[in-house]
Chain A
Amino acid sequence: MIEAQMLMDTPLLIALMIMAALVGYLMDYSIVLLSKFLSPWRFLDE
């Protein structure tokens, strides 16, 4: 990402931002799944 910034490669920079957002989303979702596994009583109404 820093290389893309220095080279002013805007399409690659935005693509890497999208990749970072996707990875962050996946990590957050895995925490939600862990939460559902460890405290299932919270999600009984769903």
Chain B
Amino acid sequence: MQYDSDLLLPKPFTVFAALGKAMVDPHILLNLLLTLRRVLIGLIIATSLGMGIGFAMGYSKIMMELVDPVITPLRQVPIMAWVPLTIVWFGLGDGPTLFLIVMVGVFPILLSTVSGVTSIDKNFYNAGRCMGAGFLGMFVKIVIPAALPEIMTGMRVAVSAGWMSVI
């Protein structure tokens, strides 16, 4: 019994030879760098939006009650459903791709930011107030450091989701 079909399942040596060639192919490397650029720009936008809205939602019950009913249904829309709209709005080019990366990346960061902020022990806020910290001081010295680990976890999910969506 012999299996010999490079179409169905190529031999490992054939794949590694193709990998070696692909890694030094300038056309492939250029396209990879362009894709990386789009992903990084999209993730910077997604991080800014996600963290901004997430901090507001986590810190304020009113913001949570106002914004959550908008965010939650928006999260459920399949990403491919946005493609025709993005082409109409942004035309052909980087616009639709960036929009899709932002849409895929913003929600994990937003949810992890909300979770990070809401899980801060109230005693930290009490201690901050006792030491005379104002709103900005508490935000910079308490909220951001306490929520940062969860935000970074959200960013890891966003990075992989953004990369998968653009590929």
Contacts and interface: CB of A to CB of B under 8 A. Distances in A.
Interface stretch (B15-23, B81-89, B90-98): B15-23
A37 to B, nearest CB: 10
Interface of A: 1, 8-12, 14-16, 18-20, 23-24, 27-28, 31-32, 34-35, 38-39, 42
Given A19-B28, A24-B163, 13 more contacts: A8-B7, A10-B6, A15-B18, A16-B28, A20-B163, A23-B32, A24-B159, A24-B164, A31-B155, A31-B156, A35-B148, A39-B145, A39-B152
Query: Looking at chain A's contact residues, is the secondary structure mostly helix, strand, loop, or mixed?
Result: helix
A42 B149 contact: yes
Interface in B1-39: 6-10, 14-19, 21-23, 28, 32, 36, 39
Contact of B159 (A12, A16, A19, A28): A28
